[in-house]
A and B are shown apart, each in its own frame.
Chain A
């Protein structure tokens, strides 16, 4: 499933890298501790977090995530967005809490693959 499909299905607000929404999503990871996400997420995952700091882009880029979804209407900082554009990591925002957005993405991924 492509990032675009998740964006459409869940009505996510795309903050940057709209041209990268064709990336394939292989799974999801929800977490707010960067070391945990570094250690345990995988390539192609969509990462769900409340962290907005620019370090999230470094983690997503290193782990080759398909994109980042920020929860609870959290807004990325300017330097986060700038870095995301450089690293071509799409950042999306949802007004839902982590549980709900994770639930929805999980069910999208499991129902259509």
Chain B
């Protein structure tokens, strides 16, 4: 699926990345805790989140996330938009809650991603 299809499925507003809508996407990761994203999300996935601060963009950059989808009609701050522009990470916003955003994308064939880090006894 292309990012353009994601935009249509979610009736999303594009803040950054209007020129990247032909990007191919297959997987998504939904979370509100950036440390979870850092622990589990795979490169090339879309990040679905209810957070809108600049750390979302930093996290996406660190992980080579394909695109950020803000849920629940959340609008990014101007700092967040500016950073996404600098780091060239598509930034979209949908009015759907995370549950429904995931549901609509899953229905159309996007799958979840879970990259298990080797656990060194810290997790039980």
Interface, chain A (partner B; CB < 8 A): 27-33, 36, 40, 48, 50, 72, 75, 96-100, 102-107, 110
Task: State whether B112 touches A96 (Cβ < 8 A).
Answer: yes
A33 cross-chain contacts in B, Cβ below 8 A: 32, 50-51
Interface, chain B (partner A; CB < 8 A): 28-33, 36, 40, 48, 50-51, 72, 97-100, 102-107, 110-114, 124
Contact of B33 among A29, A32, A102, A104 (CB under 8 A): A32
In the complex, the number of residue pairs spanning A and B with C-beta atoms less than 8 Å apart equals: 89
Interface of B is mostly: mixed
Among A31, A50, A103, residue most surrounded by chain B Cβ atoms (within 10 Å): A103
CB distance from B124 to the nearest CB of A (A): 7
Task: State whether A106 touches B104 (Cβ < 8 A).
Answer: yes
Report Cα–Cα, A103/B105, bound state, in Å. 7
Task: State whether B98 touches A31 (Cβ < 8 A).
Answer: yes
Task: State whether B124 touches A75 (Cβ < 8 A).
Answer: yes
A110 cross-chain contacts in B, Cβ below 8 A: 103
Task: State whether B36 touches A106 (Cβ < 8 A).
Answer: no
CB distance from A72 to the nearest CB of B (A): 7
Report Cα–Cα, A105/B111, bound state, in Å. 14
